[in-house]
Structure 1
Amino acid sequence: MAEGTENERVRELQARLRQLGHFHRSPTAFYGSMTGKAVSAFQQERGLPATGEVDGDTWAKLTATSRRPTAGELRPPTTNELDKPDARCMTGRVLCVSKESRTLAWMIDGKVVSAMDVRFGSENTPTREGTFQVDRKERHWKSTLYHTSMPYSMFFSRGQAVHYSADFKARGYSGGSHGCVNVRDMDRLAAVFEQVKVGDKVVVHW
């Protein structure tokens, strides 16, 4: 396993590293730079070459020093920790969305005003990455394609929006969106909805 890998074995890797204090967020199943740094730290601690990639020796050491993760450890319901903001999020008014940490941070001039857990689209309907702008807001909206309720929608990319999801609140990361950025904390999103203006920046990144 190395940076760019995305599968359930990566989720297990992250959960085991979290048990040992090397990975400080909920498992995402995506092997990004933070996972690489956690692997390097584990390798260094165990006297292995600190490559940041998982080979047979690294996996054997990891499984010998950790236990098989529980379902709750693989998909914890707890709030995710923010990662270091993308450089594009450090100026102006930005909805900064990290796919790796599964968080949304509402930032103004480099400072986090509010943060919340999010989930994304499935493999067949992925959430687009890049820099966008909020092009419209809808306090009450129903998807014309999927006929699902989308309260507090802030649209940013050809129908994809940040919005509250009752399904996310109920099922957590067992489900996924059709491409939108789902939020499960309605009160927190409602407060951000009131502050965000049409034209504010949206950054979706790993």
Structure 2
Amino acid sequence: MTPPTRRGFVVACTATLAGCGILPEESEPIEASATSPAELPESSDYSLVIEDSPTIETTVTVDFSGDVQLTSHQNVIATVFRRVYESAGGERFGLLTAPAVQVVDQPEVVRDPLTAVDSVRVVSLAMDADVDTVSEWRESDSATLLGTETTLMTATATVDGSERDIARVRVRADEDSVTAIAAAPDDTVPPFGAVTRDA
């Protein structure tokens, strides 16, 4: 009996994985839309300046560990609700609501496509500003968004030509994921806790 070749082994593994929907590359992109936008109430100290639904194209990468190490790359086209607010002092606060996308069937793996997008682009969208650089995000504190306590991340960004401190929180909300990004000078507390969303 002829021993199996390495190519034969790879083909057999691929065939087995194909039945589970787990493949290193998926040819057809996933198209998904967020279901309901996160917003600030009209009674807040911020005024709505941008309200739209941009489309984001990105590639979500998922690593699997076990007996065999696998990496799956899935192209995603996501329609995102964007709400950008501005305070009386000119500070921006942005809310991005993205669909939580199931990128692999078995095991069920769900990802926020915005986590696969470059930080500069995400901050640009959230603040509707020209952003040149964003430093590494670092854990700073905790904050509550949509009733969920989560980690508050901070960074330094070059926004419209000036260096600014910014803050970010992100939570799952039903079928969506919500990312809130705010300018965060020392004397301002971003209104993360005031954010609402219709179910």
Q: TM-score, normalised by structure 1?
A: 0.26
Rg larger for: 2
Q: TM-score, normalised by structure 2?
A: 0.26
Bigger proportion of residues as strand: 2
Bigger proportion of residues as helix: 1
Higher relative contact order (CA 8 A, sep 6+): 2
